[in-house]
Amino acid sequence: MIAWNRKHLLGLQELSREEIELVLETTASFKEISSRDVKKVPALRGKTVVTLFFEPSTRTRVSFELAAKRLSADTLNITASVSSTTKGETLLDTAKNIEAMSVDAMVVRHSTSGAPMILAEGLNCSVINAGDGCREHPTQALLDIFTLRERFKRIDGLKVAIVGDILHSRVARSNIWGLTKLGAKVTVCGPATLIPRGIEAMGADVSYNIKDVIKNSDAVITLRLQKERQQDKFLPSVREYSQLFGINQEKLSQGSSSLIVMHPGPTNRGLELSAEVADGKQSVILDQVTNGVAVRMAVLYLVLGTKEN
């Protein structure tokens, strides 16, 4: 097993297969802690972790905070609406002022692709990307990959479809980087207007036929239709999108009974997937959320344990 040597986690594009496997192994060793009566170990005692969120979040923010607390770190949440960026301060200045209070790690979500890189270059503390624009959401992909590996006991050779708004999806991009490095065959599927040109260069196949995709997949990751990022009209109507690409029980029955349905959340029930599917026995959506805490414990532990910190 290789040693972790990164101060920051900015994306899966730059991670090697061995580094991703190390995160997955570390996650497996941390998962059991959350099922104990006393859900706490002293691994990060004395460290301070700040979550700095400039976009809404339920799962990522809460699970980073729980992860840090379960490792005995001190935590603090800052959201955009209460930060001084609303008074004209730059993101980097805000972050430098927070860091000046002896912070060890900053977990950042921002609508601008690349914002965590700017902070990583300008700060001395560790920076963890909690989702930047349409670029990457590395811990979401790591928890998706961990959930797949837990279910299928392998990633190599697994057929994974990512369905929906690929164009605006940082989850899709991080999953393509991560899954293909581990040997999975990834197919993206959705309306042509929501599939970015050149996505094949990242290692994914493209299909516009949802029935074929379901028939030939071990897992389907459905994505939220990101209305907030769609300045242009990418779809004739949301209803048509739902009819063509929304995952319902009828479409799901075309595939194997062992096929699993995933979704990073938040879900638009009745749009990208039906309530019946979201709550059905092939759905692992809540397993993903559970695994998110263990993945974020692993990431915090690894980045804060590097020699540079």
Binding site for ligand CP (CB under 6 A): 57-60, 131, 140, 264-266
At which residue do the structure tokens 């993101």 appear? 91
Distance in Å, CB of 264 to ligand CP, minimum? 4
What residues contact 31, with CB distance under 8 A and at least 6 apart? 291, 294
Distance in Å, CB of 258 to ligand CP, minimum? 24
Distance in Å, CB of 58 to ligand CP, minimum? 4
Q: SS3 letters for 75-134?
A: EEEEEHHHCHHHHCCCHHHHHHHHHCCCCCEEEEEECCCCHHHHHHHHCCCEEEEEEECC
Distance in Å, CB of 14 to ligand CP, minimum? 20
- Residue from 128, 189, 123 nearest 161 by CA: 189
Q: Which is nearer to ligand CP, 40 or 227 (CB)?
A: 227
Q: Which is nearer to ligand CP, 6 or 59 (CB)?
A: 59
Q: What per-residue string of b and e applies to 28-45 under the rule 16 or more CB within 10 Å gives b? A: eebbebeeeeeeeeebbe
Distance in Å, CB of 1 to ligand CP, minimum? 28
Q: Give the span between the Cα atoms of 158 and 291, in whole angstroms.
A: 19
How many CA within 13 A on the CB side of residue 293? Answer: 21
Angular region, 203: left φ>0, alpha ψ -120 to 50, beta rest:
left
How many CA within 13 A on the CB side of residue 114? Answer: 1
Q: Which is nearer to ligand CP, 4 or 176 (CB)?
A: 176
Please name the helix (run of DSSP H) or strand (run of DSSP E) that holds residue 30, with its range, or none.
Answer: helix 17-31
Q: Which is nearer to ligand CP, 9 or 99 (CB)?
A: 9
Q: Which is nearer to ligand CP, 56 or 183 (CB)?
A: 56
Q: Which is nearer to ligand CP, 99 or 132 (CB)?
A: 132
- Residue from 61, 13, 5, 3 nearest 203 by CA: 13
Q: Which is nearer to ligand CP, 138 or 255 (CB)?
A: 138
Distance in Å, CB of 88 to ligand CP, minimum? 26
Distance in Å, CB of 114 to ligand CP, minimum? 18
